[in-house]
Amino acid sequence: MRSSPAGIFGMAIVAIIAGLAVSAPLIAPSYREIGPVFSPPSGEHLLGTDDLGQDIAAKLIHGARTSLMIAVGVALLSALISVAIGGSAAMLGGTYDRVCMRAVDAVISLPSVVVMILVAAYLRPSLGLLIILISLFSWPGGARIVRSQTLSLRERLHVVAARAFGASRRYILLRHIVPDLGPILVAIMIQDARRAVLMEAGLAF
């Protein structure tokens, strides 16, 4: 990353957005205050106001806060589910593996946006509910990747040695397989976070 100017520039952008999102209550205490409608950018309203007279810059900062919380929440929860399902399926195999993979196929085939809209119609929408719903539709792809990598990693020499010394499958998965999956899990989490932000924006619209 340090040797990549594009990588440093991208991380700087993410850091700035994250900093603005975290400090939203301090930078923009409220965006619901009504001012002049369609006001042009000024010292008081950096990006002007919308058709309701609300400050656009403040709305963007608070929106970034919500998107950041959803992205982090979905990335962590979906990665946890992916490791639990994909890793256990690869380690146990047999009927359990087949059932898990059919469950993955079933979730992938569901129209995620339609299902989430229906659920939100009957349950009170909230940030926590949105994170759970998006996570439930984001884990299958990661579970497939984790399963395929676990099938390869479990044949590595250090894993075979741990198995020969009597280590349980759970111990091997948590202490040997998951650490080796680190770079892949980071990529999966970034992908899930990106998808979560897009889905949240679409549902909000």
Task: Dump pLDDT digits (tens) for 33-87.
Answer: 677 888 888 877 788 888 888 888 888 888 888 889 999 999 999 999 999 999 9
Per-residue tokens: 28: 């923009």
Q: Express each pLDDT in 8-22 by its tens digit.
A: 898 899 899 889 888
At 96 the pLDDT is 93
Residue 152 DSSP SS3 = helix
Per-residue tokens: 14: 């993410």
CATH number of 5-204, picked from 3.30.70, 1.10.3720, 3.30.450, 1.10.3470: 1.10.3720
At 31 the pLDDT is 67
Residue 25 CA, chain-centre distance (Å), reads: 23
* Cβ-contact 178, 121 below 8 angstroms: no
Q: Express each pLDDT in 118-145 by its tens digit.
A: 887 787 778 888 899 899 999 999 999 9
Kindly report the three-state secondary structure assignment for every residue of 77-143. HHHHHHHHHHHHHHHHCHHHHHHHHHHHHHHHHCCHHHHHHHHHHHCCCCHHHHHHHHHHCCHHHHH
DSSP β-bridge partners for residue 55: 49
Per-residue tokens: 4: 């990549």
C-alpha span between 142 and 74 (Å, rounded):
12
Residue 82 CA, chain-centre distance (Å), reads: 12
Q: Express each pLDDT in 149-183 by its tens digit.
A: 999 988 888 888 988 888 888 899 888 899 999 99
Per-residue tokens: 9: 């520039």
Ranges of each domain in the chain: 5-204
Per-residue tokens: 117: 């809209």
Residues 6 or more apart from 53 whose CB is under 8 A from it? Answer: 34, 35, 36, 37, 39
Q: What is the DSSP letter of 174?
A: I
